[in-house]
Structure 1
Amino acid sequence: MRILLAGSTGVIGRRLGPLLSARGHQVIGLARTGPLAVDVLDRDAVAAAVRDVRPDVVMHQLTNLSAGDRAANARLRRDGTRNLVDAALAVGVRRIVAQGIAWAYEPGAEPATEDTPLDLDAAEPRQNTVAAVAALESAVREAPEWVVLRYGTLYGPGTWYARDGLMARYAAAGELPADADVTSLLHIDDAAAAALAALDWPSGAVNVCDDEPAAGSEWVPEFCAAVGVTAPAMVADERHGWARGANNHYARKHLGWIPKHPAWRAGFATL
């Protein structure tokens, strides 16, 4: 198949492109820089690029997180996705696979499943993130076939959670709280593998995360140890209701996706 990989130079795209090529697909990379250099916020440029490529599938792995600007990333999710989906549908693309997140769910006591509603009533600044994710998912659902990969918090080379990543610097400064908030983590290689597998998955949203949601009081000290910085003191604050983690049962039991790094403890050792 001809696959347009939007975000081909990003942390997932750099891994996913070779995986797709190894399966015999023709991969055309779209990014701000590279062979097909397009600003996804430029609607006309996106339409022209997709029209020239005429892909069978669009893989949306675009983010704008290198500078830690969540507002810019929200805009990309909202406006960039709209441009990309409209361009894809205009040339008859049937399948779109897009990157979402597993921490946009409404508050609750247990790890969220795919049936859990998004946290659309969240206060700012979380509201901006959740609204952008909802807009992304709504646009992608317009395709005849679609998958939204609700990734857990990514760690590994090139991510914020790497030895040289943004969160390692925060941790070194004592600004990464070891608190009660629960996170579901995901190694970057498992994220790329899931995107490859999603070419054959039925339409729907899928939690893609490891098997062990954990409170910051558990995983933050081990992350700090893995990247060689001093662990912070434990924070006694109560958990935010939305910081509940996510359940990967559907991906594991019904789609056959098994993460290579099923537990963050072992995964952190690779850092």
Structure 2
Amino acid sequence: MRIFIAGGTGVIGRPLVPLLVGRGHDVLVGTRGADRVPALREAGADGVVMDVFDAESVTAAVAAAAPDVIVHQLTSLAGGDLAANARIRTEGTRNLVDAAKRAGVRRMIAQSISWAYAPGDGPADEATLLDTAAPAPRSVSVGGVAALESAVAEIDEHVILRYGTFYGPGTWYAPGGMVAGALAKGLVPANDAVSSFVHVEDAAAAVVSALGWPNGPVNVVDDEPAPAHAWVPVLAAALGAPAPERTAGGNAWERGATNARARFLGWQPAYPSWREGF
């Protein structure tokens, strides 16, 4: 299968490319920098330079790739800028979907998130509505997610991977990452807010599985949604940081998500819980 990955040099792309190549797929990666192409070739893929905010650039890259499937992993997360990430989900996705249509690509797999659901009791499933009534600043992120998912649904065959919070190499939770730094400074609350996590290797494996999944959203999270007062001390111990004292509080939308559908479809995480993964 010929697969084009938009955003294939990020934290998911790095483990994903060798997985796909190892299964015999012909992999092309859209990247912002020509300097990244040699490393992609060493991994068995090829690189296509494009600017996701330039519609003509994206159209040309997708047309040249002529893929069977587009994997959309475009994000802007390094600096924690919500507006920049929402823009890439809105404008970048629009350009990618339009390019896919022009090239006759019938299948797309796209990265979304599992914490954009509306408030409620217990972990959210895929039938739960997105939190489109959320006030700012949350509305920025949810709006970007809603725009992404709506655009991707225009493709005949589409799977939307609603990932949990990424951890593992290159993420905010790795040594030297943004959360790790905040934890060392005592700025991560150990409160009642519930999160669902997923290791980046399991996130990449879900893309491979999703090549054969039916249309629609799928939560890609581990088995154990957990309040911060449970996972923060475990992460602190793994990083050698001081564990903060337990506090109360948390938002109603911080409820975690269930992976029942992903498991039904055959996905089995190598790290069923953040407890082993951390």
Using structure 1 for the length normalisation, give the TM-score.
0.96
Q: CA deviation at 1:163?
A: 1.3
Unaligned runs of 5+ in 1: none
Q: Does 1:11 align with 2:11?
A: yes
Residues in 1 aligned to 2:51 and 2:247: alpha-carbon distance in whole angstroms = 41
Q: CA deviation at 1:228?
A: 1.2
Which piece of structure 1 moves more, 145-154 or 31-40? 31-40
Residues in 2 aligned to 1:200 and 1:66: alpha-carbon distance in whole angstroms = 31
State the match for 1:259 in structure 2. Answer: 269
Q: CA deviation at 1:94?
A: 0.7
- Note the 1:155-174 alignment, pairs <5 A: 155-174=167-186
Q: CA deviation at 1:50?
A: 0.9
Residues in 1 aligned to 2:101 and 2:160: alpha-carbon distance in whole angstroms = 17
Residues in 2 aligned to 1:107 and 1:215: alpha-carbon distance in whole angstroms = 15
The amino acid that maps onto 1:161 is Y
Unaligned runs of 5+ in 2: 37-46
Residues in 2 aligned to 1:38 and 1:15: alpha-carbon distance in whole angstroms = 21
Q: CA deviation at 1:23?
A: 1.1
Residues in 2 aligned to 1:181 and 1:263: alpha-carbon distance in whole angstroms = 17
Aligned residues: 266
State the match for 2:129 in structure 1. Answer: 117
Among 247, 251, 254, the residue aligned to 2:258:
247
Residues in 1 aligned to 2:94 and 2:185: alpha-carbon distance in whole angstroms = 38
**What fraction of aligned residue pairs are identical, expressed as a percent?**
56
* CA-to-aligned-CA distance 1:5-31 (integer Å, 9 cap, x gap): 111110100111111111111100112
Query: Is the contact made by 2:49 and 2:61 (CA closer than 8 Å) also made in structure 1?
Result: no
State the match for 1:209 in structure 2. Answer: 221
Q: Secondary structure at 1:3's aligned position in 2? A: strand
Residues in 2 aligned to 1:112 and 1:240: alpha-carbon distance in whole angstroms = 14
Q: Secondary structure at 1:200's aligned position in 2? A: coil
The amino acid that maps onto 2:195 is T
Q: Secondary structure at 2:121's aligned position in 1? A: coil
State the match for 2:94 in structure 1. Answer: 82
RMSD: 0.9
Q: Does 1:229 align with 2:258?
A: no
Q: CA deviation at 1:112?
A: 0.1
* CA-to-aligned-CA distance 1:39-68 (integer Å, 9 cap, x gap): 211111111111111111100011111122
The amino acid that maps onto 2:248 is A
* CA-to-aligned-CA distance 1:67-111 (integer Å, 9 cap, x gap): 221211110011100100110111110100000000000000110
* Runs of 4+ with >2 A deviation: none
Residues in 2 aligned to 1:225 and 1:72: alpha-carbon distance in whole angstroms = 32
Using structure 2 for the length normalisation, give the TM-score.
0.94
* CA-to-aligned-CA distance 1:140-165 (integer Å, 9 cap, x gap): 00111000000000101111111121
- Note the 1:1-271 alignment, pairs <5 A: 1-33=1-33, 34=36, 35-237=47-249, 239-252=250-263, 254-268=264-278
Residues in 2 aligned to 1:66 and 1:48: alpha-carbon distance in whole angstroms = 27
The amino acid that maps onto 1:102 is S
Q: Secondary structure at 2:211's aligned position in 1? A: helix
The amino acid that maps onto 2:265 is L
Q: CA deviation at 1:175?
A: 1.1
Residues in 1 aligned to 2:86 and 2:238: alpha-carbon distance in whole angstroms = 30
The amino acid that maps onto 2:273 is A
Residues in 2 aligned to 1:104 and 1:17: alpha-carbon distance in whole angstroms = 27
Residues in 2 aligned to 1:39 and 1:5: alpha-carbon distance in whole angstroms = 14
Query: Is the contact made by 2:209 and 2:266 (CA closer than 8 Å) also made in structure 1?
Result: no
Residues in 1 aligned to 2:252 and 2:31: alpha-carbon distance in whole angstroms = 36
